[in-house]
Amino acid sequence: MERTFLMIKPDGVQRGLIGEIISRFERKGLKLVAGKFEVLSEERVMAHYAEHVNKPFFLGLKRYITSGPCFLFVFEGKDIVRITREMIGATNPAESSPGTIRGDYALEIGMNVIHGSDSPETASREIAIHFTPDEISSYVRIDEPYLYE
């Protein structure tokens, strides 16, 4: 089983979308194994968005992502990084397909509601930035025999 790091950004939290978004992943059959609510520290933002620190949009991104609490969570499942990125949709919500989270709930690239790791390697790195091992639960979902062949 693979894990991925997901985060509902401050716009998603303020707009009351936490439940809607988590439900989509739960209904798909993915397993929620960690979750917490917090305002990201400067240090964690720099680590999380290390690849973007020199981009022209970085200051705006940092201001946005620290403007209020985020909901950080980890889901587990087979091929989960690819599946969750598909469910999230393209980075720019104006171009995300209808039916994806960004396609259904957002309009512009600067406030696109949710973050999801883009590869299994990124997921391991991001989970380690935001969670300690004891914050992640291992358990069997009772419906697993009807989800995985």
Residue of 30, 57, 39, 14 whose CA lies nearest to 116: 30
Active-site option among 48, 52, 115, 130: 115
Instruction: Find residue 77's DSSP bridge partners.
Output: 2
Which span sits near Mg ion by CB under 5 A: 17-25, 67-75, 103-111, 117-125? 117-125
Is there a contact between 109 and 92 (Cβ–Cβ < 8 Å)? yes
Residue of 47, 54, 16 whose CA lies nearest to 130: 47
The CA distance from 138 to 22, in Å, is: 18
110 binds ligand IDP (CB under 6 A): yes
Which span sits near ligand IDP by CB under 6 A: 17-25, 27-35, 93-101, 110-118? 110-118
| Choice from 3, 31, 48, 115 touching ligand IDP (CB under 6 A) | 115
If one counts every other C-beta atom within 10 angstroms of the C-beta of residue 97, the result is 11
Active-site residue flag, 115: yes
Size of the site for ligand IDP (CB under 6 A): 10
Size of the site for Mg ion (CB under 5 A): 1
Angle between helices 120-130 and 80-88 (to 10 degrees): 80
Q: CB of 147: closest distance to Mg ion in angstroms?
A: 27
Angle at CA of residue 127, ends 7 and 108, nearest 5°: 25
Residue number, 53 or 147, with CB nearest to Mg ion = 53
48 binds ligand IDP (CB under 6 A): no
* Interface with Mg ion (CB under 5 A): 118
* Interface with ligand IDP (CB under 6 A): 52, 57, 60-61, 91, 109-110, 112, 115, 118
Catalytically active residues, by annotation: 115
